[in-house]
Structure 1
Amino acid sequence: MLLILDLVYIAVLKPDWDTLATGRCPKSLPIEDYERARQGNRKLARLRWQPVGLSQMSKRLQQAVVAAEDARFHQHAGVDFAALGDAIAYAKEKGEVGFGASTISQQTIKNLVVGDSRTPWRKWHEMILALWMEQNLSKQRILSLYLNVAELGEGIYGAEAAAQAYWRVSANDLSESQAIEMAATLPSPKKHNPLTRTETFLRRVEKIRGHMNQFGWLDN
């Protein structure tokens, strides 16, 4: 009975897929939260968000983000069950959560629909809706939505805003190195980014570069 009620809840929670597939990229839940927070605290950095189409983002950026966040993005159907199994096995062996297994599709659903509450139910809803979304949206559209709402710094959301903020170029004009650095910013954008250039950030840059080289995605 509880499962049936939850499935009904998911059906109510889901967005209009047709609108999400073709309409303007909507504001994410974190963007809306940031706007509300800034209304009460003007010391926060101004919101930077400028959604653009995937064709207006460099191919290298798209590849770098896939290499960094979801290497099997183009193979799975919304949930990477192999990566999920690895994460569960690691947690059982080490007694701790060592790494996440959320796909780009799941992260997109988290940002646009379910939010970031730390509950098992949220993760379940995220997975179901990610699988459902992949039946209704193309991979290109999902990647576009993700790149347009991902947090990439204090008050910075989306690839175009980040490209302008860090390098004063458009997302379409990012160099290979800049694209990799933007992808390396995703896990902890306020702490590890192209301005702070922490050791963690630089290690991640090299890790992404190595993955892209393995995939044959680098110019050299």
Structure 2
Amino acid sequence: EDQRFFEHPGFDLVEMSQALRSNQRMAFGSAESSGTALRGASTLSQQVAKLLVTGGERSPVRKLRELLYAVEMEQTLGKARILRLYLDNAPWGSNLCGAQAAAQHYFGKRADRLSAPEAVWLAAMLHNPVLEAKRWASSGHINVARAQWVAGNLRPLGRRQGVRLQRALADEDWVMPTGVKYGEVLPPSQKHSVSMNADGFSVDAAILQKK
């Protein structure tokens, strides 16, 4: 989702430039881009701003506000807090919000009990959680190629551990908990792993700030 998260100040100029070129090729109908979805360039920080403050309206003004909030969060909250807010509020398909709810829904266990392949697969869902949730519910299969790509890009693991994890993803016996269906609505108490005021932070109409 954001390979330079620990390096950028809230926005990623490299990704923005690449997305612009990719979308320009689509606009002019190049053969290799035919049928490809528009490429986004939002960082995790911008996505947190969208999830908690600006909402999903498609407009240049909203995107500018999102970028400004992201920069402010980087300066006031720091990377660790932003990552926690993202994991606790990101959509995971099937009306799910947050990693804890996703772990319970898809694997019937707490997030800290997930195996490495399970955790990587949940991370791999984030590029299109609705599609991946439907894929698993309808076919019983995960997008192994996407999950292996994620595993291969986990730089702290090193190449050897990354390859082992990629193999484990292909060999894993993926089984959904009994009775779980795509689109199932969870009770409100299970939809979020933390509240909006978790860890001493609250969402203000003007800025995310420490209490």
TM range (shorter): 0.5 to 0.7
The whole-number CA distance in structure 2 between the counterparts of 1:154 and 1:114 is: 23
1:187 to 110, 113, 127: 127
1:210 to 148, 152, 156: 152
Q: Which string of whole-angstrom CA distances, capped at 9 and with x for unpartnered residues, describes residues 36-95 of structure 1?
A: xxxxxxxxxxxxxxxxxxxxxxxxxxxxxxxxx111000001001111011112222332
What is the number of equivalent residue pairs in this alignment?
152
> Is residue 8 of structure 2 the alignment partner of residue 87 of structure 1?
no
What does 1:1-220 align with in structure 2 at a 5 Å threshold? 69-95=1-27, 98-193=38-133, 195-196=136-137, 201-212=143-154, 216=158, 218=161, 220=164
Q: Which string of whole-angstrom CA distances, capped at 9 and with x for unpartnered residues, describes residues 11-59 of structure 1?
A: xxxxxxxxxxxxxxxxxxxxxxxxxxxxxxxxxxxxxxxxxxxxxxxxx
Q: Is the 8 A contact 2:136 2:142 kept in 1?
A: no
Q: Which string of whole-angstrom CA distances, capped at 9 and with x for unpartnered residues, describes residues 157-214 of structure 1?
A: 1011111111112111211110111011113222213833687833321221222269
Q: CA deviation at 1:156?
A: 1.1
Q: Which has the higher contact order (CA 8 A, sep 6+)?
A: 1
| TM value normalised by structure 2 | 0.65
Question: Are the structure 2 counterparts of residues 215 and 75 from structure 1 closer, same or farther at C-alpha, using a change threshold of 3 Å?
Answer: farther
Q: CA RMSD in A?
A: 2.4
Question: Are the structure 2 counterparts of residues 157 and 213 from structure 1 closer, same or farther at C-alpha, using a change threshold of 3 Å?
Answer: same
Give me the identity figure in percent.
37
| TM value normalised by structure 1 | 0.62
Q: Which string of whole-angstrom CA distances, capped at 9 and with x for unpartnered residues, describes residues 110-133 of structure 1?
A: 000000001111111111110111
Question: Are the structure 2 counterparts of residues 70 and 94 from structure 1 closer, same or farther at C-alpha, using a change threshold of 3 Å?
Answer: same
Partner of 1:27: none
The whole-number CA distance in structure 1 between the counterparts of 2:92 and 2:117 is: 16
The whole-number CA distance in structure 2 between the counterparts of 1:173 and 1:71 is: 25
- What 5-or-longer segments of structure 2 have no aligned partner? 29-36, 165-211
The whole-number CA distance in structure 2 between the counterparts of 1:179 and 1:110 is: 24
SS at match of 2:92: strand
